[in-house]
Amino acid sequence: MPLPLEGVTILDFTTLLPGPLATFMLAEAGAEVIKVERPGGEDMRGFPPRLGAGSAAFAVLNGGKSSFVADLKTEEGRASLRPLIEKADVIVEQFRPGVMERLGLGYEAARAINPRIVYCSISGYGQDGPRAQEAGHDINYQARTGLLSLSPGTVEAPNVPAALVADIAGGSFPAVINILLALRQRDLTGEGCRLDIAMSDAMFTFAWLALAEGFATGRFPGAHENLLAGGSPRYALYATADGKFLAVGALEEKFWRAFCHGIDLPDALRDAAADPDAARAAVAGIVRGRAAAEWAALLEPLDCCATVLASLGEAVEDAQFRGRGLLAARAVDASGASLPAAAVPIAPNLRRPLDEPRAVPALAGRDRPASV
């Protein structure tokens, strides 16, 4: 079976995480991705840790692409891109709004060369609005949109989010979704379009329950008040006797009853809504009394949404995830050094074979795309 994006060519001007992960996903689905880099290569090539002579961080996001070096600050460099723009189906860029226009590579300029181009811009706050030129990273977008306020930790121990929600779920994933939709629309109309992906926009999607509560009641939840952000003893982390954690997600009544039975919570405290603080304190005290392995042996047979927190090292050895091949695809650099490529949620029948190496691109001209 052909892959769904075979025959699609993507010109990728992006760096670091959001855009490169998006175009890696498209490459996995069969697209040809040509990575346009400045002389010396993009910044991620220098990120630790190392893989052979290159960067492991760069390798996991860029295996299977090719590289094309162009100095966008020179007329010659920009002119060298014209043949690529003529043949491309998609352009993805991640500069601050207006930069590509100043370089003569904005949407209108690209559309004049190739009317069928799908032109995707990824930025923090979008192409317009009072914050369009404001610098930021993932933590800033979560902070600015209020998402981080739902679970900021405490004054004594502030919580830095482990997941780069804005970069990946606000940048990479919406870019892929909208590019695919735009390509489908082009199939119907014959015309390309401009896509404006703002990483901060999707943060409101992730706050959906807190927003519903705020709009319905007139009061938006504060820190640790939302049901899914520390506001309920049914959905929380509890420390065990050996310094590990038990993750409890017993939201539904049947799971909560099974969990309460499993830990032998006193009947008077099982109505968590009546006195959530008392229920939380009691659960914390009980869970603290046993080691994590004891809780796993006791609670897992009850199927009550209580899970011992695994380390990343433990998770990658879990038979469930190994069996699904999540980390089976390998990025391989020129020296032959390899490591698992980024895990992406693409069905196996819609992506490149997992046993096919994803070559990490060397800088062109040594690796100039053959079709140029």
Residues 318-329 have pLDDT tens digits of 999 999 999 999
pLDDT score of 207 more than 80: yes
My answer on whether 301 and 333 are in the same domain is no
pLDDT in tens, 218-245: 999 999 999 989 899 999 999 999 999 9
My answer on whether 182 and 36 are in the same domain is yes
Task: Kindly state the average pLDDT of the residues 10-15.
Answer: 98
Instruction: Tell me which amino acid residue 348 is.
Output: P
My answer on whether 76 and 187 are in the same domain is yes
**Does the annotation mark 261 as catalytic?**
no
Burial 334-343 (b: 16+ CB within 10 A, else e): eeebbbbbbe
Share of the chain above pLDDT 90, in %: 94
Given the residues 137, 196, 224, 275, the one annotated as active site: 137
My answer on whether 67 and 172 are in the same domain is yes
What pLDDT sits at residue 262? Answer: 97
My answer on whether 30 and 147 are in the same domain is yes
pLDDT score of 172 more than 70: yes
Share of the chain above pLDDT 70, in %: 98
Mean pLDDT of all residues in the chain? 95
pLDDT score of 371 more than 80: no
**Does the annotation mark 137 as catalytic?**
yes
Report the length, in residues, of the chain: 372
What pLDDT sits at residue 51? Answer: 93
CATH at 287: 3.30.1540.10
My answer on whether 89 and 235 are in the same domain is no
What pLDDT sits at residue 355? Answer: 94
pLDDT band (50, 70, 90) for residue 372: very low
What pLDDT sits at residue 82? Answer: 97
pLDDT band (50, 70, 90) for residue 333: very high
My answer on whether 265 and 354 are in the same domain is no
pLDDT in tens, 48-93: 999 988 999 999 999 999 999 999 999 999 999 999 999 999 999 9
Is 318 domain-assigned?
no
CATH at 102: 3.40.50.10540
What pLDDT sits at residue 1? Answer: 87
Is 366 domain-assigned?
no
Number of domains in the chain: 2
Given the residues 12, 89, 167, 333, the one annotated as active site: 167
pLDDT band (50, 70, 90) for residue 16: very high
Is 344 domain-assigned?
yes
What pLDDT sits at residue 53? Answer: 86
Boundaries of domain holding 269? 224-239+245-308
The H-or-E segment that residue 119 falls in is: strand 118-123
Burial class (CB in 10 A: 0-12, 13-18, 19+), 139: middle
My answer on whether 72 and 158 are in the same domain is yes
Is 28 domain-assigned?
yes
pLDDT in tens, 348-359: 999 999 999 999
Instruction: Note the pTM of the prediction, 2 decimals.
Output: 0.93
Task: Kindly state the average pLDDT of the residues 289-295.
Answer: 98
What pLDDT sits at residue 279? Answer: 96
Strand partners of residue 51: 54
pLDDT score of 368 more than 60: no
My answer on whether 131 and 14 are in the same domain is yes
- Show Cβ contacts of residue 122 under 8 Å, excluding neighbours closer than 6 positions: 14, 18, 19, 22, 92, 93, 94, 171, 175, 197, 199
- Show Cβ contacts of residue 245 under 8 Å, excluding neighbours closer than 6 positions: 237, 238, 239, 292, 308, 309
pLDDT band (50, 70, 90) for residue 363: confident
What pLDDT sits at residue 366? Answer: 38
Strand partners of residue 60: none
pLDDT in tens, 249-288: 999 999 999 999 999 999 999 998 899 999 999 999 999 9
pLDDT score of 7 more than 70: yes
My answer on whether 164 and 40 are in the same domain is yes
**Other Cβ atoms within 10 Å of 202 Cβ, number:** 21
